[in-house]
Amino acid sequence: MITSIGKFLRKVRIDNNEILADMASKLNVSASFLSAVENGKRKMPSDWNKKISLLYGLNESQSERLDQAIAETEQCCEIDLSGVAKQNREVAVSFARKFATMDEEQIEEIKRILGVS
């Protein structure tokens, strides 16, 4: 299934009269890797955001749409817990397990505790 980032990249290619292999070559990856990113089978490398903006001369609005597509596509988050106290690691893992089932009130309470608006 094509992801939001996949749709964005496909539109950029079409707007620039390119095929998948052209963009893949510019990004220094194989066409199959780029296809896997578009289809959500591989995670987009973190340096692609700037790379795509520069390669294709994206304006501010297009860069914002790229950021939004990346955010919509990312379904997982990696957290480096090395060097973190055991009890804090347990809290982080417990939170991750419960996150999807939390109601709005619980989310608001966590945001309040963390100072997130």
CATH architecture of 4-73: Orthogonal Bundle (1.10)
Per-residue pLDDT of the chain (117 residues; tens, 9 = 90+): 788 999 999 999 999 999 999 999 999 999 999 999 988 888 889 889 999 999 999 999 999 999 999 888 876 666 778 899 999 999 988 888 888 899 999 999 999 998 987
CA distances from 85 to 77, 91, 95, 109 (A): 20, 10, 15, 24
* Domain chopping of the chain, boundaries: 4-73, 77-117
Instruction: Report the pLDDT value the prediction gives residue 76, as an integer from 0 to 100.
Output: 64
Instruction: Report the pLDDT value the prediction gives residue 78, as an integer from 0 to 100.
Output: 67
Burial class (CB in 10 A: 0-12, 13-18, 19+), 58: middle
